[in-house]
Each structure stands twice: as C-alpha cells, then as structure tokens.
C-alpha cells in the first residue's frame, strides 16, 4: 500500500493568500467608513444652531403676507420659504412659554384661525413681550400646518 501525501499546489496557496489580503483590505475600508460615519454623526449631534441675529435674512416679509403666501399657493410658498431665514414683522397676538425655556410668540395675521408662530430659543422671559406690540423676528421657516412655523427665532427689534 502506497501512501501519498497530498500537498496543495502553488496556485491554491497563492489564491488563499490573495483572499486573506483582500479580506484585510475590505475590513480596513469598512472600519474607516464606520469611524468616519460615527464622527460625522457626533459632529451633527453637537452642532449648535446659528445665531440668527448675525445672519442676513433670505426674505423680509410681514406676518400677514407670509400667511397669505402659504394660503394661496402652499407648494410654491414651501419652495420659497421653507429652510430659509425669514425676517417677519407684525403685531404680537399672544406669548406662551414652552418646553426647555423656549417661548412661542404668535403674530397677528388678520386671520382668526391661523397665525405665524415664532419659537424663541435660549433664556427668554415671556414677560418681556406684550400683546399688541409691534415686533420683528428672524427665524428658520419650517413649514405650514394651520400656522406658519418659524423655529430658532431671534428678536431683531421690538418696534
């Protein structure tokens, strides 16, 4: 009886070595992409909103005209105003404290059902604003439900 010892041929050994190298390269690339994704997520999570007092507004408009734009052509107004810095002026209809020391100011638009809601961030005292006062506010427009919504607002000037 003859016993043969099987030895892998050189081509099989080279193929296995190439697969190991390829596997290591792919694993390194996936690791780099994962770390980059985690770092980008942390950056976005910790990103502070812009101070809109120092930013030039994209659009300057009155509260009544802003609401009319959304009522007349919601899709056109969405394209024009949403995700833009809007400076709106009008008369304070109501002031309500919100969550996390935010204050929401409702601007009169001449419409009994809808208004422009401006959410002020930071340490703002609702007592500083009186119903019936003229005010100019700058904020990021986030859309229209029953009201036009402005977020991350800053008071530019009480008139």
Strand, helix or coil for residue 83:
coil
CA triple 146-126-47, angle to 5 deg: 75
Burial 86-120 (b: 16+ CB within 10 A, else e): bbbbbbbbebeeeeeebbbbbbbbeeeebbbbbbb
The residues spanned by each domain of the chain are 9-47, 59-158
Q: How far, in Å, CA of 39 to CA of 31, rounded?
A: 12
The predicted-structure confidence for 41-78, as pLDDT tens digits, reads as follows 988 888 776 777 788 899 999 999 999 999 999 999 99
14: its two tokens = 């080279």
The whole-number pLDDT of residue 4 equals: 60
Q: Is the dihedral of CA 14, 20, 22, 25 positive or negative?
A: negative
Four-point Cα dihedral 71, 72, 76, 82, nearest 10? -20
The pTM of the full predicted model, rounded to 2 decimals, is 0.68
- Tell me which fold the domain 59-158 belongs to: OB fold (Dihydrolipoamide Acetyltransferase, E2P) (2.40.50)
């Amino acid at each position: 009886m003859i016993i043969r010892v099987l030895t892998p041929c050189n081509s099989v050994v080279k193929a296995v070595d190439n697969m190991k190298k390829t596997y290591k390269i792919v694993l390194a690339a996936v690791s780099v992409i994962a770390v980059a994704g985690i770092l980008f997520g942390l950056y976005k999570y910790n990103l502070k909103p812009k101070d809109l007092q120092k930013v030039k507004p994209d659009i300057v408009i009155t509260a009544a005209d802003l609401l009319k734009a959304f009522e007349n052509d919601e899709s056109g107004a969405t394209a024009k105003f949403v995700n833009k810095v809007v400076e709106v002026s009008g008369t304070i209809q109501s002031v309500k404290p919100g969550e996390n020391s935010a204050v929401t100011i409702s601007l009169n638009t001449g419409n009994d059902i809808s208004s422009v809601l401006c959410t002020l961030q930071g340490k703002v005292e609702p007592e500083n604003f009186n119903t019936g006062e003229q005010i100019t506010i700058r904020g990021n427009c986030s859309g229209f439900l029953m009201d036009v919504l402005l977020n991350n607002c800053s008071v530019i000037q009480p008139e």
